[in-house]
Amino acid sequence: MARTSKWLLCLTLTTVLSGCIFGSKKETTTHENHAAMKSKVTEIKDTASAEVAKTAANANCDAELTAGDKMQYNTKSLSLKQGCGKITLKNIGKAPKVAMGHNVLVVKEADYAATMTAAMSARKTDFIPASEKVLAYSKLLGPGEEDTLDLSKLPAGTYTYFCSFPGHASLMKGVLTIK
Ligand code: CO
């Protein structure tokens, strides 16, 4: 074989080999990325299921809800045991009741919008509409006041709780699970 063609063969082989090496290296990197992504997804799933487990473990008979001058409840989800559930709402704010009163109403998720509309024109009864859709409610509370709702008669399910003081429900609203 001539010197040149030997050199060419060698060059060709080198190119093929290095192609293989780089090719497999690239593949490995992709696999590593996939593995990293998979573990990230697993991590997120684990966190979510841990959160669910925590909520389930916290399902109890007494839940405390607080509300203050920031127009928010302390939590947007509550979990109660079926047959014994109670929610105690405490107004921990300082603003007068006429400006920043808080209450809590419990309704089926599907009844939320209709109940909100009815509450707007129920000023005389502290924004509690006379409706069977209101499954439980507290008094409208001023600073330092509290009231407890008895939810022991509610069947297991998912409900909505909210403050019916005008303008509050967009921020003061949460999901109640009874199980
Ligand atoms: Co409120």
- Tell me the per-residue pLDDT of 106-155, one tens digit each, with 9 for 90 and over: 999 999 999 999 999 999 999 999 999 999 999 999 999 999 999 999 99
| Distance from Cα 104 to the centre of ligand 1, integer Å | 8
pTM (2 d.p.): 0.68
N-to-C CA span, the chain: 85
| Distance from Cα 69 to the centre of ligand 1, integer Å | 9
CA distance linking residue 27 with residue 52, whole number of Å? 37
Predicted pLDDT of residue 43: 54
| Distance from Cα 53 to the centre of ligand 1, integer Å | 29
| Distance from Cα 97 to the centre of ligand 1, integer Å | 10
CA distance linking residue 128 with residue 140, whole number of Å? 9
What are residue 136's phi and psi, to 5 degrees?
A: -165, 150
In the chain, DSSP assigns E strands to 62-67, 77-80, 86-91, 105-108, 136-137, 146-150, 157-162, 173-178
